[in-house]
Amino acid sequence: MKSIFNTLPLFLLVFINVAQAQEKLLSKQEAIDLTLENNLGIQVARNTKKIDENNASILNSGYLPTVTANAGGSIDKQNTEGQLASGDTRTADGAETRRYNASVNVNYTLFDGLNRYYSYKSFKERSQQSELEVRQTIENTILQLFSVYYEVARLTENTKNLEQALEISKDRLKRATYQFEYGQNTGLDVLNAEVDINTDSINLLNSRQQLRNTMRDLNLVLNRELSAQFLADTTVNFVPGLQMENMHNEAKSNNIRLQLVEKEMNITMYNVKAAKSVFLPTIGLTGTYGWNESSNNSPLAFLIQNTSTGVTGAVNLSWNLFDGGRGVTGIKNVKIGYENQELLKKQIELEVERDITNAWDSYTNALYVLEVQEKNLQTNQNNFNRTDERYKLGQVTSIEFRQAQLNLLNAELAQSQAKYSAKLAELQMLQISGQLLNVDF
C-alpha cells in the first residue's frame, strides 16, 4: 500500500509550499479594523442611524415656518355691449383683459398642543436608540468575527499537529522497513505503518479543506475577496481579574438590550404625551405679500390698467372639541403600549441576569477544562516520548507506539479546542456585560 502523500505530484507540493510562504499574518486588530470598515451589516446599521439623525434634526421638527410662492396669469377676450345713462349704446368686439398675480405666503404654528415638542423629543430618543443599535450590530459582528477567526486559528493548529503526526508515521514506516529488511520484524509492521500513514494523510487533507472553507467564511465577514489567503494569530490572551460580581453589575448598567428597551420606553412615554395634544387648541400665524395687475382695452371699462400690492397678516385658532372619540382611543392604546414596554423591560432584566450567570459559569468551567487539558497534554507528551524511546529499543510493539501517538494527537486537539472555547466563552460574557468593545483583543 502507498501513502496518499507519496502519490501527490511534486509540482503540487511545491505549489502548496509557495502559497503558504506568500500568506500574510492577519492580526486580531487588523481583522477588527477591516470588519468595522467593510462589513455590510455594520454599514446598513450606520445608514439607518443617519436616517434617524436626519429625522431628529430641526428641519424635521415642525418648529420652522413654511414659505410658499404662488403666481398666475390669465387672458380673457369678450364681445361686450353696454348702454349708457344717456341712452347711447356702445359695443366692444374682442375686448381683451389681462390679469397677473404673485404672492409669498408664510405660515407658522405658534402652538399645537405640545405635539411637535414631544414628537421632537421622541425623534431625539430614536436617534440615540439608533446609536445603540449600531453598537449592538458591531458587538454581534465582532463576536461572529472572533468565532470564525478562532476557528481558523484552531484548524491551523490542528493542521500543524496532523502534519507532525504524519511525519512521525513516515519515520515509523522507514524504521519498520529497515527492520524488515534486516529480519528484525515481519512484513505486518510495514503494512500497519503504511495504513497509519494513509489514515494520517486523509485526516490532514480533511483538516486543510476545513481550514480553507473557514478562511472563506472569515473573508465573508470581512467583506473582502473570498479567495484571500492569510495566517491567523494562534495566541490567546485572557482578560485578567474578571469577577462575577463586577460582571453582574456591569450587565445591569451596560447591557445593550437593557439600554435599548429603556430608550423604547422613553419614546413610548413621549408618544403618550404627544397624543394628549388632541385636547388642546392649535394657534397659527399666516402672512402674505401679494402683487396683482390687470389691464383692459375695452372702451366700456372705467380703468384701463390696475396694479395693487399689499401685505396681509392673520392669527388663527383651531380647537377640535370632539373628534368622535378617536383621540381618546389613541391615548388609551399608547398607554397600553407603554405598559407593555414596562413588562418587556422586566422580562429582559430577568433574561440578562440569567444570561450573565450562565455565561460566567460557562467561562469558569471552560477555564477549568483548559487547565485539565493542558495537564493532560503534558502527560501524553511525556508518555509518547518514553514510548518512542522504548520503541526504538524494540521494547514496545508498533500497536503500543501508535496508541501513544494517537493519545498525544487527541490531547493536542483537545487542548486547542479547550483554549478557543474558553476564549469565546469569555467574549460572550463580556458582550452580555456590555464590555466587549472596551477590552484589548
Q: What is the pLDDT of residues 239-293, one digit of tens each?
A: 998 999 999 999 999 999 999 999 999 999 999 999 999 999 999 999 999 999 8
CATH classification at residue 161:
1.20.1600.10
d(CA 82, CA 261) in angstroms, rounded, equals: 79
Higher-scoring residue by pLDDT: 5, 212: 212
Instruction: Judge whether 196 lies within some domain.
Output: yes
**Among candidate residues 263, 32, 297, the one with its CA nearest the CA of residue 141:** 32
Q: Please indicate, yes or no, if residue 319 is contained in any of the structural domains.
A: no
Burial of 183 (0-12, 13-18, 19+ CB in 10 A): exposed
What residues contact 308, with CB distance under 8 A and at least 6 apart?
Answer: 291, 292, 293
- Res 22: pLDDT: 54
Q: Report pLDDT for 299.
A: 60
User: Which residues partner with 285 through β-bridges?
Assistant: 108, 315
Q: What confidence tier does 301 reach under pLDDT thresholds 50, 70, 90?
A: low
Residue with cell 403600549: 337
Burial class (CB in 10 A: 0-12, 13-18, 19+), 205: middle
Q: Please report whether residue 274 resides in a domain.
A: yes
Mean pLDDT over residues 26-52, rounded?
Answer: 96
What single-letter amino acid sits at 104? V
Q: Which domain holds residue 195?
A: 25-56+117-281+326-433
> What is the share, in percent, of the chain residues with pLDDT greater than 70?
89
Average pLDDT of the chain, as a whole number: 89
Q: Is the pLDDT of residue 425 over 70?
A: yes
Helix, strand or coil, per DSSP, at residue 301: coil
Q: What pLDDT score does 23 carry?
A: 73
pLDDT value, residue 4 = 40
DSSP string computed for 134-173:
HHHHHHHHHHHHHHHHHHHHHHHHHHHHHHHHHHHHHHHH
Average pLDDT over residues 400-429: 97
Higher pLDDT, residue 119 or 97: 119
Assess if residue 374 is contained within a domain: yes
Give the model's pLDDT for residue 392.
87
Give pLDDT, residue 99: 86
Q: Is the pLDDT of residue 217 over 80?
A: yes
pLDDT given at position 303: 60
Q: Name the band, by pLDDT with cuts 50, 70 and 90, for residue 9.
A: very low
- 96: Cβ contacts below 8 Å, ≥ 6 apart: 75, 76, 77, 296, 297, 298
Do the beta carbons of residue 432 and residue 359 sit within 8 Å?
Answer: yes
Q: Which residues contact 399 (CB under 8 A, 6 or more apart)?
A: 192
Report the distance separating Cα 142 and Cα 430, nearest Å: 12
In a domain, 309, yes or no: no
Phi first, then psi: give them for residue 304, nearest 5 degrees.
Answer: -80, -35
The tens digit of pLDDT for each residue in 54-106 reads: 999 999 999 999 999 999 988 887 777 766 667 667 676 666 778 899 999 99
Residue length of the chain: 441
User: Is the residue at 382 inside a domain?
Assistant: yes
Q: Is 183 left (phi over 0), alpha (psi -120 to 50) or beta?
A: left
Residues contacting residue 121 through CB under 8 Å, at least 6 positions apart: 270
Structurally, the chain folds into a number of domains equal to 1
The pLDDT assigned to 126 comes to 95
The amino acid sitting at 178 is: Y
146-149 contacts, C-beta under 8 A, 24 or more apart: 146/28, 146/423, 146/424, 146/427, 146/441, 147/424, 148/214, 148/217, 148/218, 148/221, 149/28, 149/31, 149/218, 149/232
Instruction: Using the predicted structure, report yes or no on whether residue 409 has a pLDDT greater than 80.
Output: yes
- Per-residue model confidence as pLDDT tens digits over 336-355: 999 999 999 999 999 999 99
Whether 307 maps to a domain, the answer reads: no
How far apart, in Å, are the Cα atoms of 26 and each of 134, 144, 230, 379? Answer: 25, 16, 6, 33
Domain membership flag for residue 299: no
Q: How far apart are CA 420 and CA 441, in angstroms?
A: 13
Closest to 432 in 3D by CA, of 250, 298, 297: 250
Residue-wise burial string across 232-253, b where 16 or more C-beta atoms lie within 10 A, e elsewhere: bbeebeeeeebeeeebbebbee
Q: What is the pLDDT of residue 8?
A: 42
Count helices and strands in the chain by DSSP H and E runs: 9, 6
pLDDT grade for 127, boundaries at 50, 70 and 90 = very high
Which has more confidence, 176 or 295?
176
The CA-CA-CA angle for residues 346, 348, 350, to 5°, reads: 70
Using DSSP's 3-state secondary structure scheme, residue 61 falls into: coil
In percent, the amount of the chain with pLDDT more than 90 equals: 75
Q: What is the pTM of this model?
A: 0.86
- Residue whose entry in the numeric block shows the C-alpha cell 491567523: 232
